[in-house]
Amino acid sequence: MRRSYPVFAALVTGVMLAACSGEPTLDTRTFPLQYLEPSTARGLIEPYVYGDRPDHPGMLSFTSSTMTVRETPDNLDRIARVLAEYDVPTPLVRLVFQIIEADGDATADPRIAEVETELRKLFRYEGYRLVAEAVVSGTAQSQVQQKVGGGARGDPYSIIVEIAEVRTIGDSGFVSMHVELLRRGGGLSARINARIGQTVVLGNAQLGMEGGTTILTVRPEFITQ
């Protein structure tokens, strides 16, 4: 009776020699691009594609809606994880601004009851009152501007927001932005990372001719699409 063990041993030896040769095994996989532009996807994925690998270079190509990659299985899996994180709908955020005046009137303003406790931890004014509110919305890499009336007491305010990044983390997330509050006679500027649903005090300044101190807060919220 003939035995097949020597053949099996030869096959095993061949596999071991291939594994020890140091030559990578490359596969090809095509990924759909649902939300990312090809140019953006290229910047994210190129670090995982080794086009300068001797004899076995990685390759990357695009159509308007797909990306094809030739790489090692491990790198293809990494690319899949990157796309799962970044090839998602761009979150839309609503930014709720409150312009608050700090002065000597100790009367509580119920419209800012939620934030007044934090204001009293940061500042030592007798009282705080809401001057105006502004609500703007945008996405990452967008700029929005809105004027807010100053009423009978003075010139209007102008809020300028540059939204740099919007990230989702589970059911929450954060917004990175640069905010300016301008008014004739002065302004304030701040760069912040604000968590979704958290009210943040951006700063305070003396704006206008009334002589009071103006405080600006913001609360970012996700807009469900």
| Per-residue pLDDT tens digits for 75-107 | 999 999 999 988 988 889 999 999 998 876 777
Torsion of CA 181, 208, 152, 156, to 10 degrees: -30
What does the domain layout of the chain look like in residue ranges? 23-86, 93-222
The per-residue pLDDT for range 157-198, each reduced to its tens digit, is 999 999 999 988 777 889 999 999 998 868 999 999 999 999
If pLDDT is split at 50, 70 and 90, which confidence band does 19 have?
very low
Average pLDDT, the chain: 84
Average pLDDT over residues 42-70: 95
Neighbour-count burial of 38, counting CB atoms closer than 10 A to its CB (0-12 exposed, 13-18 middle, 19+ buried): middle
pLDDT at 122 over 50: yes
Kindly give the pairing relationship between strand 27-32 and strand 66-71.
antiparallel
pLDDT the model gives residue 11: 37
pLDDT the model gives residue 224: 73
**Per-position b or e across 41-50, b if 16+ CB within 10 A of its CB:** beebbeebbb
pLDDT at 138 over 50: yes
* CATH class for the region spanning 23-86: alpha beta
pLDDT the model gives residue 104: 66
pLDDT the model gives residue 3: 41
pTM beyond 0.85: no
pLDDT at 208 over 80: no
pLDDT the model gives residue 120: 85
**How far apart, in whole angstroms, are the C-alpha atoms of residue 37 and residue 34?**
9
pLDDT the model gives residue 51: 94
Q: What percent of the chain has pLDDT over 90?
A: 52
Average pLDDT over residues 190-207: 91
Higher model confidence: residue 198 or residue 16? 198
